[in-house]
Structure 1
Amino acid sequence: MMNYFKDVNPNWIDESFDLRKREDPDAKSKKLYEDLVKWLLDKKELPNGNIIKVEDEVVWIDKYGTYEVRIEILNGGKSLYRVGLGSDYIGASVYWAIKAKIGKEEIVDFLKISRTIGGHMFFPRWIKDYTTTNNEFHHSLSINKAKGGRNDFYDRFDLFLFDLNSWYLGKESKLKDVYDKNKIWLNQFETFPQFISFFKLDGFTNGNKNENKILIKNLLTFNPEKKIIAYLDNNNSTIPTEKVAYIDYARHSNSVILLRNNK
């Protein structure tokens, strides 16, 4: 299976390779964007009945030299929105792995799985709204950036999904302001379970399609090898700071990514 980290870092296994100077596939891998379009977006009807149309030139380069995909959202052949989408990595973070003093070889080992297609998805960077009289332009929409860091979710995708589910249910959510800015996009999926299904994220959940009963796996303690199933009951930010605990978290995260690869 294609590894997109290797695509932009061909010497990643060399002893001299410095992880701190790595290229980011979410910015620099054209192949990742092409494959994500085929996997997630091609000729896709959205849960609310609108249709995604990918622009003829599948992958663009934005003003920052970063790849993106541009789509139109149509209804009855009429264009409602134009959206610029960026790839987002949803696996265990190299940054926090280094903080936990994990060695390069061990980090490369988890990247062999986490940087396959199941470790990525799309979020909007900008939206042009043709339903408004002045074709309003929304930018600075980055869910990707918002979910990182100490004050948010340390790039833990399970915590992000728990928080997003709270927003869909109208409950308190840590990133409410960010979701509100992205509501044109998020409203295309109508409910959280439909968002999960559309983006093939079922492996992160208990599989329930009822928006009031869907649960998110806690990737710190969820362990399929030992048949330990654990679900989140809050969005409190935490990340393992010890080597063994972070390796366990990365392994649990990869088990879900492997499931997603097969969808």
Structure 2
Amino acid sequence: MIEDYNVYVYSKKEWIKLFLQGGAIGFCIGILFYSSIIGAILLGSYGFIFVQNKKKQKIEERKWILNLQFKDGLSSVSAALNAGYSVENAFHQAVMDLKLMYPADAFIVQEFEGMVRQIKMNMTVEEVLMDFSIRSKIEDITNFAEVFVTAKRTGGDIVKIIRRTCKTIGDKVEVKREILTMITGKKFETSIMCLIPFCIILYLRLFSAGFLEPLYNNTFGAVFMTIVLILYYFVYKLAHKIMKIEI
């Protein structure tokens, strides 16, 4: 079980690998924009930013995977309840079903196994679900936990609530999956557009070196290229922010 899904801890090997990738990108940009080893080394520090950006991406990917798997977990719990199991035993049955769909180290398998262990230690299902929602910080899981707790307190039909919640989450996940599929092409186009400025500069440096010569090895050129890089970075971040759609 993961203590906090909003926190991602790199292994030493993973951190070094990503830092070298980001450093290499920054170094190449430094050579391309400044034609200077000093500038390249300074931009090589982009490796630190690259590592942080990748961490955010990995956190989002992990939470999306957990969200997808949670939908299947709820389906298994709902099926067990329909078969006559109690709520507590339904989670135990769901673990066996999930192990047929996912490997043993899958997020949802580990989480449901942890919940079953906690229930056996006399924790209530409500407490277990609320703990899961706090650690995952995923809207669908939080909503389900709150609805479940309210239903338990007011004596609502748990089976009906879980079935309806499962359908709602499933519909929401499918809509998001369709949107992601639709904008995949746009993301690729954005990536190509982001590479165009570098390709143009590289082309000019290889085939018309004299055209860019006034921008290198002087203060004005360094300041101009720095402004261009800053503007490019903000445009790059804006483009990716536009592509990020919350549902």
Q: Does the TM-score normalized on the shorter chain lie above 0.5? A: no
Give the alignment's TM-score, normalised by structure 2: 0.30
What is the TM-score when the length of structure 1 is the normalising length? 0.29
Relative to its length, the structure with more helix (as a share) is 2
Structure with higher Rg: it is 2
